[in-house]
């Protein structure tokens, strides 16, 4: 039996994106797979008064169960009321790769879906995206498409090489598909190891510095589709403090480099109105768990290590909302 996202008390992205583009900020899109991640996301966004996009990958649906995730999203709406400040919540499918998957999510209460046809030819990408748009819009659900390919590995998304979005294609793609937002490739990538050491330079402190994002591509896209909502995937910054903690307590995160936060802030001030962050959250939680387990080797109560992991994740996401995305006080 199909369930409308409106029955769950969720929002789609249309009005939220219009406000974000006009206001020069980006809405956080945070992935979740379990209770602690969801708690941290909602607490951080309520306390900073930020709208939020709860992202679910196909891998998350397999891990946590589609029905449980939907009911967690339903509970999220009630939970923010208990926290004392209601914020807009979007439930979004991240990197859907088939029409069938997108349809299933729409029918189960998602308010937004991404159809990633970037691995197909240009014409096949348009055809697949258009098919999803037609079904989604009949249910008032938002659709995100993608042009260009991001390298890296994250959940079910694997690409060895990236290809930048071609600005000359965006007008045609948006017009022919009818998408509500467009994910582009300007140098971000999936995972915690976004760049090889050979691609980076070293600053005076010996820290690896990645190549800058291709803002000239973003600016050209903005000229061609002014005011249209743009999305950045693979936008974790890979905080060095979390990487160092993981390594200090037995991890092996070597040459992990992310996107500098000042570049993401610049992007969020443009037509980029949704920024996806997942790996940073994984690093924060893993760092906290490793520290607790190393300092308390006899501990076996999951609450005693998942609780600190949740708190560290909340702290990270509050920082992102306030200092990076600019979404604080925009709910």
pLDDT in tens, 9-28: 999 999 999 999 999 999 99
127: in domain: yes
More confident residue, 192 or 112: 112
Per the structure, how many domains does the chain have? Answer: 1
Q: Give 69's pLDDT tier (boundaries 50, 70, 90).
A: confident
**Which sign, positive or negative, has the C-alpha torsion 212, 214, 216, 221?**
negative
Beta bridge partners of 232: 184, 275
- pLDDT band, residue 331 (cuts 50/70/90): very high
CB neighbours (10 Å) of residue 182? 23
- Is 156 an annotated catalytic residue? no
How many CA atoms, within 13 angstroms, populate the side-chain half-sphere of residue 191?
18
Q: Which two tokens stand for residue 40?
A: 């941290």
| pLDDT score, position 273 | 96
Q: Kindly report the pTM of this predicted structure.
A: 0.93
pLDDT of amino acid 194:
61
DSSP state of 325: I
In this structure, what is the dihedral angle of CA atoms 70, 76, 81, 83, given to the nearest 10 degrees? 170
Q: Does the residue 40 lie in any domain?
A: yes
What letter would DSSP give residue 303?
H
CATH assignment at residue 190: 3.20.20.70
* 270 in any annotated domain: yes
Q: Does residue 292 sit within a domain?
A: no
pLDDT at 275: 97
18, part of any domain = yes
What confidence tens digit (pLDDT) does each residue in 98-135 have?
A: 999 999 999 999 999 999 998 899 999 999 999 999 99
C-alpha angle 26/27/30, rounded to 5°? Answer: 125
26-57 in b/e burial notation, b at 16+ Cβ within 10 A?
bbbbbbbbbebbbbbbbbbbbbbebbbbbbbb
Annotated active-site residue in 94, 97, 116, 155: 94
Q: Which domain range does residue 42 map to?
A: 14-234+259-277+316-325
In a domain, 87, yes or no: yes
Residue 2 lies in a domain: no
Q: Does residue 115 lie in a domain region? A: yes
Whether 31 and 60 have beta carbons less than 8 Å apart is answered as yes
Distances from the Cα of 262 to the Cα of 18, 83, 181, 231, 268, angstroms: 23, 31, 23, 17, 10
């Amino acid at each position: 039996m199909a369930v409308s996202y409106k029955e769950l008390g969720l929002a789609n992205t249309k009005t939220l994106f219009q406000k974000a583009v006009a206001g020069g900020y980006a809405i956080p899109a945070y992935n979740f797979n379990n209770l602690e991640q969801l708690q941290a996301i909602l607490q951080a966004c309520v306390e900073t008064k930020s709208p939020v996009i709860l992202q679910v990958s196909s891998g998350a649906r397999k891990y946590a169960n589609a029905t449980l995730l939907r009911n967690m999203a339903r509970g999220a709406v009630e939970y923010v009321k208990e926290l004392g400040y209601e914020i807009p919540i979007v439930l979004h499918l991240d990197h859907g790769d088939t029409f069938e998957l997108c349809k299933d999510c729409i029918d189960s209460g998602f308010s937004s879906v991404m159809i990633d046809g970037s691995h197909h030819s240009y014409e096949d990408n348009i055809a697949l995206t258009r098919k999803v748009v037609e079904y989604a819009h009949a249910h008032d659900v938002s659709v995100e498409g993608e042009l260009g390919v991001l390298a890296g590995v994250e959940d079910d998304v694997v690409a060895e090489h990236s290809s930048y979005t071609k600005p000359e294609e965006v007008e045609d793609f948006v017009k022919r598909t009818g998408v509500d937002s467009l994910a582009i490739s300007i140098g971000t990538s999936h995972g915690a190891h976004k760049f090889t050491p050979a691609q980076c330079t070293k600053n005076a402190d010996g820290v690896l510095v990645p190549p800058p994002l291709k803002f000239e591509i973003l600016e050209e896209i903005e000229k061609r589709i002014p005011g249209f909502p743009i999305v950045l995937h693979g936008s974790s910054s890979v905080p060095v403090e979390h990487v160092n903690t993981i390594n200090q307590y037995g991890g092996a995160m070597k040459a992990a480099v992310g996107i500098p936060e000042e570049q993401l802030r610049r992007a969020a001030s443009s037509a980029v109105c949704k920024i996806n962050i997942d790996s940073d959250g994984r690093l924060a939680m893993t760092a906290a768990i490793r520290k607790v387990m190393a300092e308390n080797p006899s501990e076996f109560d999951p609450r005693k290590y998942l609780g600190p992991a949740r708190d560290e994740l909340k702290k990270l996401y509050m920082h992102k909302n306030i200092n990076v995305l600019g979404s604080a006080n925009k709910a």
